[in-house]
Amino acid sequence: MSGQSITDFGGFVFLQLLILTLRAALPNVIRFCCCAAMIYLGYCFCGWIVLGPYHVKFRSLNMVSECLFSLINGDDMFATFEKMQQKSYLVWLFSRIYLYSFISLFIYMVLSLFIALITDTYETVKVCLMGSMERVLLKMALSDSLIQEPYVFPPPDSFGHFYTYTSRI
């Protein structure tokens, strides 16, 4: 089993393609997630320090993380924006910029980049896998043609179409 190539399994090509994609994308995904986690932690600490005294959802680091994660998923956005206390115009303005930039950055950019990373790796692996399968099929066809009689291709019909490979010498 360990000596077989990925194309020897026949019917599981799509499953093999998925596994190869995940295996090839894993190092890039881990690096990307580490960078995204640093940005996320930066937003957590900033919200905890600046907005903690003014908003109940930003009182502890755990609550900030839960609030930001729910904002990424689209939950509780209105309540988070609505509960911001109007004690200071600067705090209110900062909270709007903070929340809008976080939502825009993580929903539109980070998640889209993550999907693009996986999709690009999928396309690369698919091209490589299909190229290797074509080489294997060509080798099989060449080895079969040495053993069997060669096919005779009939002339095309009046529309230029070839018939099937049914006639032999």
The pLDDT of residue 162: 44
pLDDT greater than 60 at residue 41: yes
> Once rounded to an integer, what is the mean pLDDT over residues 100-119?
87
Q: What is the pTM of this model?
A: 0.63
DSSP state of 54: T
Tokens 């924006």 correspond to what residue? 81
Distance CA(11)–CA(3), nearest Å, equals 18
User: Cα–Cα distances in Å, from 24 out to 8, 37, 66, 90, 92?
Assistant: 20, 21, 31, 47, 45
Mean pLDDT of the chain: 76
Distance CA(20)–CA(18), nearest Å, equals 6
